[in-house]
């Protein structure tokens, strides 16, 4: 209490002493700093409590639940890593996990190649602001919408088939057959996500000062050399960020699969298109069989482990000396 | 002297250069390869298709199901809102829209209101504690929602907060903390310190400096954080699907899912469905047209560094 009053007194009477202090670097901030430090609890406290109670504790709880056999109510039996062994023996989980990996790597690679190509074209094209703002917009739309629209477009009597008929395609593939849904989902994701990453890459490319390009032109660099020696090194950190972003968001993909094609008969999508997020949800909440909370969280924890490993690896692999410019 | 000036030869005619309309230096647009031109054409095609899809979806929402199915390229005969009215009344999109608007507004506002002071503190005070706290908040960025799904459900169930919009709001606030704190910390760091120092010299307390000096300066960043939260809470599906069970508490994404699933039993009502899609998409379009600059700036601020 006395410390608090002293500080307050210094703060109010400090005006005359201030010029002397101002000579020292950061001295003007020292009273301010001391005052600020006292704000720790009122400023950080509420955010800390909400975040801890509704995010960190559940995350720790998940690790705990994944070590138990539990149907949500009734007794929890400790089974150790049995749940993890169980999901890895479950063909459904293996399929879901495989699909998640496909999304992560195949869709990710497609998105990055396309986004980078688009960035290179966009860089100095007329009307780039319009293009950029249009291709960014799908990021703001719930993926459910794309799933439902795809159902209409790829219907047996839908738009795609009516467009294909005049081209002489008599027996178009059954687009929405259970085996074909997942590749369609992958294509839809590429189409709807590329714009977002293009926007972020563009922000990185736009930071490159134009005189580098002019220097390239004067030195007679080919477009490829310019790409290799100027654009790539200077946007490398943005690439790293994008890769991490995609890793984190691809693991969560759920909505688009849940309604894709609008064909989910019993409210559950065909197992061929499940991802680990869908597996977790269905195993715990489908209401079709006894909920297996342990196995469901185990599958979620496995995705978390996958994200963590990949993020660490990516940060290692993408680490370069930051280029200052 | 005067004669000398008069005899000075007229200035040479200025070199005629092509007007540089694009604002880029000539050296940068030297090459016009075929691949590039194809790329430009393709990009404009993407733009046209995107806008076309959006307009097409809007137009179909004004047609009835039979007309849509027989000719998906047709134009609406009249702009009567029958699909919207049916979706609005019969399919409970009205309640869902109100729920979504309230939940999105309240949770986004509270998220930013709680995250801004925390981010301010973390950006201004440098100590081992704040370093650890920043790491602690960033940690959450990497945890996918399905991990906390089941424990959250169990916890909220214990507290009788499942199937409650109040509970859903609490969850949204907690889950949004990592990103918002991270974004706003980066933003506060980018603000100049001089004004705050001047305020402190004038005897303003740290709290007053924050409220009267920093917050007004940070208006843009705070608005950005708010809009990003609005977008993510408006579209959030997995948590709402898990935590909400009764129809009158559905948010829009959940109402849309249940509408799609009803159709497998009651036959496709594409007109109503398109109207439902429009109700989900249009608010985002309005937000984007209105505040889009903040959105893209915020994302690049948060991600670029």
Q: Which two tokens stand for residue B122?
A: 């973390």
**Which alpha helices (H) appear in chain A, and where do they start and end?**
2-13, 18-22, 28-37, 45-51, 57-65, 82-89, 91-102, 108-122, 128-136, 143-153, 159-164, 178-206, 210-219, 223-226, 232-251, 255-259, 276-285, 293-318
Residue B103 pLDDT class (50, 70, 90 cuts): very high
| A248 touches B: beta carbon within 8 Å | yes
Which one of B39, B122, B174 has the shortest CB-CB distance to A51?
Answer: B174
- Kindly list the residues from chain A whose CB atom is less than 8 angstroms away from the CB atom of residue B210: 39
| A32 touches B: beta carbon within 8 Å | yes
- Kindly list the residues from chain A whose CB atom is less than 8 angstroms away from the CB atom of residue B153: 284-285
Cβ count near A250 (within 10 Å):
24
CA of B275 vs chain A CAs: smallest distance (Å): 11
Read off the pLDDT of residues A13-37 as tens digits, 9 standing for 90 and up: 434 444 443 444 444 456 667 777 7
Question: Could you tell me which of B236, B72, B86 has the C-alpha nearest to residue B149?
Answer: B236
Q: Is the pLDDT reported for residue B8 higher than 70?
A: no
* Segment 104-143 of chain B within 8 Å of chain A by CB: 114-115, 117-118, 120-122, 124-125, 127, 129, 133, 136-137, 139-143
> Where are the domain boundaries for CATH 1.10.3720.10 in chain B?
87-304
Test the B interface: residue of A19, A54, A191, A277 with most B CBs within 10 Å: A54
The DSSP letter of residue B92 is: -
CA of A11 vs chain B CAs: smallest distance (Å): 6
| B228 touches A: beta carbon within 8 Å | no
Do B175 and A214 make contact, defined as CB atoms within 8 angstroms? Answer: no
Cα(A27)–Cα(B274) distance, integer angstroms = 63
Q: Which residue has the tokens 């992958």?
A: A186
Residue A6 pLDDT class (50, 70, 90 cuts): very low
Domains of chain A plus CATH, in order, are 2-78 (no CATH), 82-318 (1.10.3720.10)
* Segment 252-291 of chain B within 8 Å of chain A by CB: 253, 256-257, 260-261, 263-264, 268, 270, 273, 277, 280-281, 284-285, 287-288
Residue A91's contacts (CB-CB under 8 Å, 6 or more residues apart) are none
- Kindly list the residues from chain A whose CB atom is less than 8 angstroms away from the CB atom of residue B127: 37
Q: A35-40: long-range contacts (C-beta < 8 A, 24 or more apart)?
A: A35/A7, A35/A11, A35/B200, A35/B205, A35/B206, A36/B121, A36/B124, A36/B125, A36/B206, A37/B125, A37/B127, A38/A4, A38/A7, A38/B206, A39/B117, A39/B121, A39/B206, A39/B207, A39/B210, A40/B121, A40/B125, A40/B129
Read off the pLDDT of residues B231-290 as tens digits, 9 standing for 90 and up: 999 999 999 988 988 888 889 998 888 888 877 666 677 788 888 888 899 999 998 988
End-to-end CA, chain B: 62
Cα(A312)–Cα(A277) distance, integer angstroms = 21
The residue of chain A with its CA nearest to that of B127 is A37
Q: What is the ipTM of this complex?
A: 0.81
Read off the pLDDT of residues A274-311 as tens digits, 9 standing for 90 and up: 889 988 888 888 766 777 888 888 999 999 999 899 98
Which one of A58, A131, A254 has the shortest CB-CB distance to B155?
Answer: A58
Q: Is residue A297 a contact partner of residue B150, using CB atoms and an 8 Å limit?
A: yes
What's residue B112's pLDDT?
A: 93
Measured over the CA atoms of residue B123, residue B128, residue B131 and residue B136, the dihedral's sign is: negative
How large is the average pLDDT for residues B82-105?
84
- Greater confidence (A237 vs A96) lies with A96
- Kindly list the residues from chain B whose CB atom is less than 8 angstroms away from the CB atom of residue A115: none
What's residue A322's pLDDT?
A: 60
What's residue B30's pLDDT?
A: 47
What's residue A14's pLDDT?
A: 39
Residue B106 pLDDT class (50, 70, 90 cuts): very high
Residue B61 backbone dihedrals phi, psi, to 5 degrees: -65, -15
Which one of A14, A210, A293 has the shortest CB-CB distance to B25?
Answer: A210
Q: Is residue A195 a contact partner of residue A137, using CB atoms and an 8 Å limit?
A: yes
Do A148 and B235 make contact, defined as CB atoms within 8 angstroms? Answer: no
- Kindly list the residues from chain A whose CB atom is less than 8 angstroms away from the CB atom of residue B277: 145, 148-149
* Segment 207-246 of chain A within 8 Å of chain B by CB: 207, 210, 213-214, 216-218, 223, 238, 241-242, 245
* Average predicted confidence (pLDDT) for chain A: 79
Cα(A113)–Cα(A221) distance, integer angstroms = 23
Q: Which two tokens stand for residue B101?
A: 């608007």
Q: Is residue A262 a contact partner of residue A148, using CB atoms and an 8 Å limit?
A: yes
The residue of chain B with its CA nearest to that of A291 is B150
Cα(A230)–Cα(A205) distance, integer angstroms = 10
Q: Which residues pair with A78 in a beta bridge?
A: A68
- Greater confidence (A85 vs A325) lies with A85
Q: Element (H or E) spanning B258, and its range?
A: helix B252-266
Read off the pLDDT of residues A173-225 as tens digits, 9 standing for 90 and up: 777 777 778 888 899 899 889 988 998 888 888 888 888 888 888 888 887 88
For B87-304, CATH gives 1.10.3720.10
């Amino acid at each position: 209490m006395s410390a608090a009053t002293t500080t307050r007194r210094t703060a109010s009477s400090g005006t005359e002493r201030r010029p002397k202090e101002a000579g020292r670097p950061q001295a003007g901030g020292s009273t301010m700093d001391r005052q600020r430090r006292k704000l720790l609890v009122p400023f950080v406290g509420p955010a800390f409590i909400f975040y801890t109670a509704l995010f960190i504790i559940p995350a720790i709880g998940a690790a705990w639940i994944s070590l138990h056999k539990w149907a949500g109510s009734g007794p929890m039996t400790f089974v150790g890593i049995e749940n993890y062994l169980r999901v890895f023996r479950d063909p459904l989980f293996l399929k879901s996990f495989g699909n998640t990996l496909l999304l992560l790597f195949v869709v990710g690679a497609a998105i990055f190649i396309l986004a980078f190509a688009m960035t290179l074209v966009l860089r100095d094209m007329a009307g780039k602001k319009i293009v950029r703002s249009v291709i960014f917009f799908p990021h703001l739309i719930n993926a459910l919408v794309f799933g439902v629209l795809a159902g209409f477009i790829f219907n047996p009597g839908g738009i795609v088939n009516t467009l294909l008929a005049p081209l002489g395609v008599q027996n178009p593939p059954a687009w929405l057959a259970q085996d074909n849904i997942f590749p369609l989902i992958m294509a839809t994701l590429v189409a709807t996500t590329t714009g977002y990453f293009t926007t972020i890459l563009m922000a990185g490319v736009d930071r490159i000062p134009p005189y580098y390009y002019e220097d390239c032109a004067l030195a007679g660099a080919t477009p490829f050399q310019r790409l290799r020696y100027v654009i790539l090194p200077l946007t490398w950190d943005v690439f790293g960020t994008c890769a991490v972003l995609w890793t984190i968001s691809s693991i969560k993909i759920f909505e688009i699969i849940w309604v894709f094609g609008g064909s989910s008969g019993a409210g559950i999508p065909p197992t061929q298109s499940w991802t680990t997020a869908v597996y977790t949800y269905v195993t715990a909440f489908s209401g079709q069989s006894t909920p297996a909370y342990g196995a469901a969280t185990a599958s979620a924890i496995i995705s978390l482990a996958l994200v963590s490993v990949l993020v660490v690896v990516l940060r290692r692999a993408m680490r370069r000396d930051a280029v200052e410019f | 002297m005067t004669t000398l000036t008069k005899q000075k030869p007229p200035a040479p005619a200025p070199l005629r250069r092509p007007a540089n309309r694009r604002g880029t230096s000539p050296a940068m647009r030297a090459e016009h390869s075929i691949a590039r031109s194809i790329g430009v054409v393709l990009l404009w095609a993407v733009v046209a298709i995107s806008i076309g899809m959006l307009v097409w979806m809007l137009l179909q929402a004004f047609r009835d199901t039979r007309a849509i199915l027989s000719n998906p390229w047709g134009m609406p005969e009249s702009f009567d809102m029958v699909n919207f009215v049916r979706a609005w009344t019969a399919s409970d999109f009205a309640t869902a829209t109100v729920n979504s608007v309230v939940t999105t507004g309240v949770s986004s506002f509270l998220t930013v209101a709680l995250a801004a002071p925390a981010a301010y503190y973390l950006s201004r005070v440098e100590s081992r504690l704040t370093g650890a706290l920043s790491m602690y908040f960033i940690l959450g960025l990497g945890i996918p929602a399905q991990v906390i799904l089941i424990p959250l459900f169990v916890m909220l169930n214990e507290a009788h907060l499942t199937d409650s919009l109040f509970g859903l709001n609490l969850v949204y606030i907690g889950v949004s903390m990592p990103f918002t704190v991270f974004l706003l910390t980066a933003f506060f760091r980018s603000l100049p310190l001089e004004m705050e120092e001047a305020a402190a010299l004038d005897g303003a307390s740290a709290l007053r400096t924050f409220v009267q000096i920093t917050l007004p300066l940070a208006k843009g960043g705070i608005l950005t954080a708010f809009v990003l939260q609005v977008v993510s809470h408006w579209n959030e599906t997995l948590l709402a699907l898990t935590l909400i069970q009764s129809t009158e508490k559905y948010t829009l994404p959940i109402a849309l899912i249940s509408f799609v699933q009803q159709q497998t039993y009651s036959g496709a009502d594409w007109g109503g469905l398109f109207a439902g899609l429009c109700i989900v998409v249009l608010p985002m379009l309005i937000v984007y047209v209105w505040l889009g600059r903040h959105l893209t700036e915020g994302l690049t601020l948060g991600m670029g560094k």
